[in-house]
Chains A and B, each alone.
Chain A
Amino acid sequence: MSVPIHISNAVKVFGADTVIDGLNLEIAPGEFFTLLGPSGCGKTTLLRMIIGFNSIDGGEFRLDEKLINDVPVNQRNIGMVFQNYAIFPNMSVADNVAFGLDLRKLPKDEIRTKVDRILRTVRIDHLKDRMPSRLSGGQQQRVALARALVIEPRVLLMDEPLSNLDAKLRVEMRNVIKQIQQDVDITTVYVTHDQEEALAVSDRIAVMNHGVIQQIGSPREIYRHPANTFVSTFIGLSNLIEATARPDGDEHEVTLLGEYAFRVPLTAITTGPVIASIRPEEFEIHLDGAEGLPATVRSSVFLGTSTHYFLTTSDGREIEVIQDDTDLDEILPGTEVRLTVLCERVNVFDAAGELNLIAR
């Protein structure tokens, strides 16, 4: 039922700017695929090329192996959920959802059955006859989803669908979307700039920057093994610290700021400067002991499940560390501590920050 999407050598030009230049992407049938990146990275542009609102200035877009470059929007049979929902204000909920079916000239009772069924799926069947002006944000979101799905599109596209909702509703609706996507079993391309949202809903994520895909992978892969320093800092937090590497037996010894060394396996024999990327939860704080990177606690924030510490190293660099064990007493500002790293989780990049050297 669900179909794959193949994009090869995609090119998009706006005036004199080439915003996307030779992009390749393969999306598997039934996959929940997210395009994630900062605003202006080209993710929405790519999405609008798939549905056909943006012209394709080069390359091939294939849906279920068939070329769609020259198929009009209204014949691509792709469902889309818009950022502002784009509910037709002059039609009731049921009429909004039936709009696409009316165009397909289905018999009246079949339309009614399909509308009822999809409204039940998104759980707003009781709002059938409401006008859009009397719907909440979350309800409008469900109407938009129902309207896009009821035409049984080959692919579902979603353009930042949760950005207009408040924080609590955002979490609720992303679970709803994920659940419905699985129930309907439809290939979905989802655009967002919110990394937490992307991690929560996606089967795979493509992290984009400046029109270029930086990394494609499952949420776990991307978080644990970022391809470069852009991904490691855009997805979650990472402390980037200058370091030097030298081979030592099967592994390498990496020394942070010349003060603290740890051992990790690297993909190639490397000698000289590298960048260590260490997430706040990959540090351990020691109040005593000689081993570790010396640092001074500046301030802390208690968040219930964890405590965030802000420290400075001997050269004045700021470091953020998360301590999960809330049974421990607060470490007061001014305390001098030592930081060790969890060698099996840290990442090491080449000096340019463009290549992950860790072998895992």
Chain B
Amino acid sequence: MRTKKSGMRTSLSWILLAFFVLFVVFPLGLVLYRSVFDVDSGAVTFDYFQQFFAKKYYWTTLVNSFAVTIVATLLSAVIGVPVAYVLRSTRIAGAKWVNVLVVISYLSPPFIGAYAWVQLLGRNGFITKALNGLFGVEFNGIYGFTGIVLVFTLQSFPLVYMYISGALKNLDNSLIEAAESLGSSRFRRMIRLIVPLVTPSLLAALLLVFMRVFSDFGTPMLIGEGYQTMPVLIYNEFMGEVSTNSHFAAALCVIVIVVAMVLFFLQRWLSNRYSYSMTALKPMEQKRVKGMRGVLAHVFIYGILVVALLPQITVIATSFMGTIGGVIYDGTFTLKNYENTLLTKGNEPILNTYLFGIGAIVLVVVIGTLVSYLSARHKTIPTMLLDVLSMFPYIVPGSVLAIAFLYGFSSPPVLLSGTAFIMIVSLAIRRMPYTIRSATAIMGQISPSIEEAALSLGATEVRTFWKITLPMMLPGIVAGAIMSWITVISELSSSIILYTAGTKTLTVAIYTEVIRSNFGNAAAYSTVLTLTSIISLLIFFKLSGKEEVSI
């Protein structure tokens, strides 16, 4: 009997494993293969790596990537940690809405932030022009390093905020009171108690920020102006109009993956050294702070909130402004941009975004739930392999995955390039690690004896899963699916490589409109995307009854 029911689960494990082998191992294996084999002779060679490290033009991109990533990651912690602490420890008017708005500022894709900041602080930006007019200076706008760091910092601090806020929530007030009763000062409590206890969460958040920033392609492309980072170089080498070299691009992909992998294990090692298990019976109190300190706290929180939301506000505002030739705003209120995009050009990008998004969510939820169920309840060699393989996309940047897909699926036997399916699978694969991690956490909450009870009453394995396990997992899965949906619809770095005329998505449409300097159209598309995200987020809050989101 064991063999019969295990047989069913074992074959399911093998099918899922085959899926990950086909869409993770095979394409990424090809990337590795191409990076070390010569184009013409097919002999093993490290020429492509040598070429990269020999020419300053190439290796500076890696240095640039590290520079912007490290600075933006640290700055996002410098802003995110105090925001979280202030919101948890002091009573701020409208704190609940501040929380929601910070999350909203995080949800739109970074490249929209980049394009919005160009509108504000670029060469012809609103703020730039105002400053230059007011003071008679020749400020040329922020581009390059400063611009990239500004966009990434504002885009990433909400993530640090969410992680730290969650960790502080689990910090029992009695710990702080105990320290206080033992004579520890406010400052000492902060350094000796609170900081160490939130360190694991901070490390996790910093890794996530690092990965996102390091692999983001749209932001440096739009605001970098010659300040070239690795994802931009990869894109140019792979897609560029001159001297494209797919083997060289593969070598670049391998370098990026290696960097990400090193970081991933470094973070693992660090957080294993500092990990605590905490559940607060009585969370930290939000104290009412009066006088100057209270005012400062409000100025601090609201000041950062306004700056963080500026891109969204800009995009929505400019979407209703008339333009001359798409570039120069004439200051009139108009719906022309919506007319130009939604009515004239057709709604294909919007429809595609919804279609691919829903397809990817279905795929990621079904596979994610099954993988987490199987690796928790049915430990065998295929499920252990599944566990590792499904986490692998976590360290693979979107552009690398897209290139790998094109290597693997552009020719028979698996000809998928240009189809909606390849877009859906790439979105799903990229989201998989997050979904599996949260589904595994949900599984951990379900006592095995509940399933055993169903079996003892005569239910089969399959029926037990459908009637008991799945319904118990469902609320968590739905909440996770909404967050997945929001991230999937704002994906650019793999879509921009994989899309063809028929499979253009909203983010690709926004990006191409910005590149063509049709800012009005870009703003209109961005507003549609932003509103979709906000509404989805509000549904998430409503359904889950929570005030936090987990990414």
Contact = CB atoms under 8 A, between A and B. Distances in A.
Whether both chains belong to one complex is answered with yes
Contacts of A51: 456
A86 B459 CA distance: 15
Interface string A85-109: 0111110000000011001100000
B468 A74 contact: no
A74 B472 contact: no
Contacts of A82: 449, 452-453
Interface stretch (B1-9, B163-171, B351-359): B1-9
B8 to A, nearest CB: 12
Most B Cβ at <10 Å: residue of A75, A79, A90: A90
B449 A70 contact: no
B192 interface: no
B459 A83 contact: no
A61 to B, nearest CB: 13
A332 interface: no
B453 A103 contact: no
B471 interface: yes
B44 interface: no
A72 interface: yes
A151 B454 contact: no
Among B1, B459, B471, chain A packs the most CB atoms within 10 A around the CB of B1
Interface in B432-489: 447, 449-450, 452-460, 463, 467-468, 471-472
Most B C-beta atoms less than 10 A away, residue of A70, A100, A148: A100
Nearest to B2: A55
Given A84-B447, A86-B447, A89-B472, A53 B457 contact: no
Contacts of A99: 454, 457, 459, 467
Contacts, number: 71
A147 B453 contact: yes
Give the dominant DSSP class at B's interface: helix
B469 to A, nearest CB: 10
A74 B459 contact: yes
The size bracket of the interface on B is: 20 to 34
B1 A70 contact: yes
Nearest to A144: B453
Contacts of B459: 74, 99-100, 103
Contacts of B454: 88, 99
A71 B1 contact: yes
B458 A103 contact: yes
A86 B450 contact: yes
A162 to B, nearest CB: 16
A89 B445 CA distance: 12
B447 A74 contact: no
B447 to A, nearest CB: 6
A74 B455 contact: yes
Contacts of B5: 72
Contact of A86 (B4, B452, B463): B452
A45 interface: no
A148 B452 CA distance: 12
Contact of B456 (A79, A83, A87): A79
B448 to A, nearest CB: 9
A99 B471 CA distance: 14
A103 B463 contact: yes
Contacts of B456: 51, 73-74, 76, 78-80, 148
B1 A88 contact: no
B453 A86 contact: yes
A72 B463 contact: no
B449 A74 contact: no
A72 B471 CA distance: 24
Contacts of A84: 447, 449
State which size class the interface on A falls in.
20 to 34
B471 A74 contact: no
Contact of B460 (A74, A78, A89, A144): A74
A148 B456 CA distance: 8
A78 B455 CA distance: 10
A51 B449 CA distance: 13
A103 B462 CA distance: 13
A151 B455 CA distance: 12
Nearest to A79: B456
A233 interface: no
Contact of B458 (A88, A90, A104): A104
A307 interface: no
B449 A88 contact: no
Given A84-B447, A147-B457, A148-B456, A90 B2 contact: no
Contact of B449 (A77, A86, A147): A86
A71 B458 CA distance: 12
A104 to B, nearest CB: 6
B412 to A, nearest CB: 45
Given A72-B4, A84-B447, A86-B447, A53 B458 contact: no
A80 B455 CA distance: 10
B3 to A, nearest CB: 10
A84 B445 CA distance: 13
Contacts of A83: 449
A193 B454 CA distance: 26
Nearest to A51: B456
A323 to B, nearest CB: 45
A84 B448 CA distance: 10
Interface centre among B453, B455, B471 (most CB of A within 10 A): B453
Interface in B1-58: 1-2, 4-5
B1 A100 contact: no
A136 to B, nearest CB: 19
Contacts of B447: 84, 86
Nearest to A53: B452
A70 B459 CA distance: 17
Contacts of B453: 80, 82, 86, 88, 144, 147
B473 to A, nearest CB: 10
Contacts of A79: 456-457
B474 to A, nearest CB: 8
B452 A80 contact: yes
A90 B472 contact: yes
B450 A88 contact: yes
Interface in A24-76: 51-53, 55, 70-76
A151 B472 contact: no
A75 B458 contact: yes
A72 B3 CA distance: 10
A71 to B, nearest CB: 7
Contacts of B450: 86-89
A151 B457 contact: yes
B506 to A, nearest CB: 37
Nearest to B452: A53
A79 B455 CA distance: 10
Interface in A101-144: 103-104, 144
A150 B471 CA distance: 23
Contacts of B455: 53, 73-74
B458 A77 contact: yes
Nearest to A81: B453
30 contacts: A53-B452, A70-B1, A71-B1, A72-B1, A72-B4, A72-B5, A73-B452, A73-B455, A74-B456, A74-B457, A75-B458, A76-B456, A77-B458, A79-B457, A82-B449, A82-B453, A83-B449, A84-B449, A86-B452, A88-B450, A88-B468, A89-B472, A90-B468, A99-B467, A100-B457, A100-B459, A103-B459, A104-B458, A148-B457, A151-B457
Given A80-B453, A86-B452, A99-B459, 10 more contacts: A73-B456, A84-B449, A86-B447, A88-B453, A88-B454, A88-B472, A90-B472, A99-B467, A103-B457, A151-B457
Interface of B: 1-2, 4-5, 447, 449-450, 452-460, 463, 467-468, 471-472
The 8 closest A-B pairs by CB, nearest first: A100-B457, A72-B1, A86-B453, A86-B449, A82-B449, A80-B456, A90-B471, A73-B455
